Amino acid sequence: QQQVKQSPQSLIVQKGGISIINCAYENTAFDYFPWYQQFPGKGPALLIAIRPDVSEKKEGRFTISFNKSAKQFSLHIMDSQPGDSATYFCAAAREGGGADGLTFGKGTHLIIQP
């Protein structure tokens, strides 16, 4: 059973455009939603994270939008740059629960064309 569904699987955006990646979760016990960025040959690295007490969080060009009632959250990358080309993973965890790690989406391969 896939608890975090991520779409699209791949995405091509022109330089300067907005990249949007969506995730939906099933487990209402999840209360921590991070996004990880992974470059080829490297491990994932935390990009930005949100908790369900806020509907939006912005850090530079990266914004998470969170809709608790719809059990959905999304990553927006404004003014997308070629250096943003990477694989992005959404994830969810029960921060107040056990130490059983993160449940990841299947990833989105993002390509920013110059």
Partner 1 sequence: NAGVTQTPKFRVLKTGQSMTLLCAQDMNHEYMYWYRQDPGMGLRLIHYSVGEGTTAKGEVPDGYNVSRLKKQNFLLGLESAAPSQTSVYFCASSWTALNQPQHFGDGTRLSIL
Which residues here bind partner 1, judged by CB under 8 A? 6, 9, 32, 34, 41-46, 49, 89, 93, 95-102, 104-107
Q: Which is nearer to partner 1, 80 or 89 (CB)?
A: 89
Q: Reading across the β-sheet that carries 4-7, which strands appear in turn? A: 4-7, 19-25, 72-77, 62-67, 56-59
Q: In angstroms, what is the minimal distance from the CB of 54 to partner 1?
A: 16
Are 57 and 74 in contact, with CB atoms under 8 Å apart?
no
Q: Which is nearer to partner 1, 43 or 83 (CB)?
A: 43
